[in-house]
Structure 1
Amino acid sequence: MHNLYIGIMSGTSMDGVDIALVDITAGKVKSIASKCYSLPDDIKQQLLTLCETKQTSLQDLGELDHQLGLVYAHHVNQFLTHHKIERNKIKAIGCHGQTIYHAPFGANPFTMQIGDANIIAALTGITTVADFRRKDIAYGGQGAPLVPAFHKSQLENPSINRVILNIGGISNITVLIPHQPVIGYDTGPGNVLLDGWIKACLGKNYDNDAKWAKTGKMDTKLLTKLLNEDYFQLPAPKSTGRELFNLSWLRQKLTGITLKSEDIQATLVELTALSIVQEIIKLSINTELPCELLVCGGGAKNPLIMQRLSALLPNWNVLTTSEKGINSDDMEAIAFAWLAYCRLNNIPSNIPEVTGANQAVSLGVIYQ
């Protein structure tokens, strides 16, 4: 009996398409293989422009949705060929899609992910589950974050205070404290501003090993201005994205401040670390138990962010999730494979305390 699922994730950072193959038996996930494929430059640029300007035409939006579906399907087929896996052994693909707008507040809350799942199902011949977030919104939730339910299922430990921290474009935490309800939400920017700033200044997609940030000096005045953002004061549940934290936001905050570009990068690292830590120190933890911060996502590879987290949280053991058996690069792709498994088995996969939904439901739409 095959229990193989594929997860596809392309996150806020748009640094690529992560594909993960997992075995899921009785709800427990075992990672088998994974690969990150790059997004074609023209599609990535269209997505970045769309998220930044929030302007498009219906034709351009429809075509981008189609193109992304083709990209996802192509990479799944490449992945299967490379690993010599027969497609009839895969029970389902779970595809998050690419978020282009997330607006959970207001009179008519919505979230929008594109990447036509009909195309993925048609071109791979594999049942595809997608559109995970909107059902949670339909039940009064924020549609995010969804990965905490996966974290709870795989990483909860009754004798450890655990926080799972995903640093993608946006940073989010899942709080797993014994005998307390699970909470999880977006703390604020992860890599989105760091990647955007180095791209604008040096033309690079990201600051490899924080080498550029290390040449700069953190500026307290700018940090104070950056932290003076309403989002950081909001209570959970809350979620955010590029529609708030983007280069236009940063440039507005830089008004009246003159700094070297590398000093701005160093300050953005501190913003990422401090906005996370400010949330963690608010938690009511069981002081008799050890504390672990398990980090995943691209930010887990940033030595400066990891260093600052350890320094700012002296009572916490800061590790990557890889050290606990779930590859830190693949966490979200694996989570969407698990969400597809939940949908096919009609298992509730949101946590109302996390998203604000009024009930637990099985998320996702099945495309065959």
Structure 2
Amino acid sequence: MKAAYYIGLMSGTSLDGIDAVLADLSPSPALLLHTFYLPYDAALRSQLLALHYPDHDELHTAAMLGNELARRYAEAVAGLLAESGVDPEDVTAIGCHGQTVRHCPESGRAYTIQLCNAALLVELSGITVVADFRSRDIAAGGQGAPLVPAFHHILFTHPQTHRLVVNIGGISNLTSLPPRGEVIGFDCGPGNMMMDAWCLQHTGKIYDENGSWARSGRVIQGLLEKLLTLPFFSLPPPKSAGRETFNLAWLEGCLTGKEAPADVQATLLQLTVLGIAKPVLDYFPDAAEIYLCGGGARNSMLVAALRTALPGRKVELTDSLGIDADWLEAFAFAWLAKQVIQGVPANLPAVTGARGARLLGAIYPA
């Protein structure tokens, strides 16, 4: 069978950089062939973070950053193809999620913004680009996120075992994959976002490697309970979130100013754990296996705390199922691009709350 090459590009709310994957989507299951990572520099990260909040001349800033991101995405694509030895003309399409800077799915004012000048990315790469994956689902009354549960279903559903897939990126989201019945998925709380922001502010490091700083602190129970009163945690699914919900201003509004920074970090790690564990226990008590992906899956303290919070269940990384936890989300956007190119709806209404199945993404032909 001739290879069907697709590229997936993902830059998430953690604002750490661009994950690029080359996939062959002709076989079943699909094959993840090559990966490439392009980190963001501090200046770009700061500019993108600033766009999450209203400011002067933000339309111009957003347009300029969209152009800059297109150039960075094209650089990641070039690096990926150079290392894999695949020519651009052999790639069917690039699935580019873009960089989310606003996500407001609430009824009555619903919209979502992912920055990327997709037309410029086509010109720079010479490859058809599929972008803007969330807007159609939101137009149909959905949350526009999470989008990857459909791909989790394709890859990981087991005929006898109820599995959950938990992606711990900037935001945590989970996918329920029962042997029979409906696939369900939703955002469940902050993943790395709050820990990374607090770590950068107090240590200058962009993340807390293996939770070592959090390990040096102690959970502040009163603060944890206060953070958990945020209405998002009690909302039923479908639901999704971003920096509009979880940010330093929200955290600092809950602090007295007397807390030790390491204790706050330990508390934020436990917030991420409970944001995942509580919906697992509430909605999916029969789930026997939980598989983790995303950057937070590499935080050994976080993984250990999840195993403690979810006793009696197998908690492993998706690596154990043959898909590297660091690359699963970018892999999903390669698959989502293929669905669009082939005219196949890719949202799951039970996940997003949309009125029905919809074709996701806009095609920019080469």
User: Same fold per TM (> 0.5)?
Assistant: yes
Aligned to 1:147: 148
Deviation at 1:41? Answer: 2.6
Equivalent residue of 1:209, what SS? helix
Provide the rounded CA distance (Å) in 2 between the counterparts of 1:216 and 1:72.
Answer: 38
Does 2:335 correspond to 1:365?
Answer: no
Contact 2:36–2:76 at 8 Å: present in 1 too?
no
1:359 is displaced (CA, Å) by 0.9
1:329 partnered with 2:330: no
Verify the 8 A CA contact 1:50 1:56 in the aligned structure 2: no
User: Partners of 1:19 and 1:47 in 2: how far apart?
Assistant: 19
Q: Could you tell me which residue of structure 2 aligns to residue 354 of structure 1?
A: 351
Partners of 1:2 and 1:90 within 8 A in 2: no
Identify which range, 256-265 or 26-35, moves more after superposition.
26-35
What's the TM-score, normalizing by structure 1? 0.96
Q: Which residue of 278, 299, 315 corresponds with 2:296?
A: 299
Letter in 2 for 1:330: W
Shift of 1:206: 0.3
Q: Which amino acid aligns with 2:121?
A: I
Hey, what does 1:280 align to over in structure 2? 280
Inter-partner Cα distance in structure 1 for 2:183 and 2:210: 32
Q: Relative to structure 2, which stretch is displaced further, 108-117 or 4-13?
A: 108-117
Aligned residues: 363
Cα offset, 1:25, TM superposition: 1.6
Task: Give distance in 1, aligned partners of 2:229 and 2:172.
Answer: 17
1:125 CA displacement: 0.5
Which is further off, 34-43 or 62-71? Answer: 34-43
- Aligned-residue RMSD, C-alpha: 1.2
Cα separation, 1, equivalents of 2:297 and 2:62 = 33
Equivalent position amino acid for 2:333 in 1? F
Which segments of 5 or more consecutive residues in structure 1 lack a partner in the other structure?
none
Q: Which residue of 1 aligns with 2:121?
A: 120
Residue matched to 1:66: 67
In 2 relative to 1, CA 284–243 (structure 1 residues): closer, same or farther, beyond 3 Å? closer
Whether the aligned pair in 2 keeps the contact of 1:177 and 1:285 (CA below 8 Å) is no
Q: Say which SS state the counterpart of residue 346 (structure 1) adopts.
A: coil
1:15 is aligned to 16
Q: Which of 176-185 and 291-300 deviates more?
A: 176-185
SS in 2 for 1:97: strand
**SS state of the match for residue 354, structure 2?**
coil
Letter in 1 for 2:154: S
Q: What is the identity, as a one-letter code, of the residue corresponding to 1:251? A: E
Corresponding letter in the other structure for 1:260: A
TM (norm. structure 2) is: 0.97
Distance of 1:257 and 1:235 partners within structure 2: 32
Contact 1:182 1:353 in 2 (8 A): yes
Task: For 1:68, give the aligned amino acid.
Answer: L
| Cα-to-partner distance string for 1:303-325 (whole Å, 9 max, x where unaligned) | 11100110111121000001101
Moved more, 176-185 or 235-244: 176-185
Identity of aligned residues (%): 42
CA contact (8 A) 2:34 2:80 kept: no
- Tell me if the contact between 2:3 and 2:25 (Cα under 8 Å) persists in the aligned partners: no
Equivalence for 1:197: 198
Q: Which moved more, 1:11-20 or 1:172-181?
A: 172-181
Contact 2:98 2:116 in 1 (8 A): yes
Once the 2 structures are TM-superposed, how far is the Cα of residue 257 of structure 1 from its aligned partner? 5.5
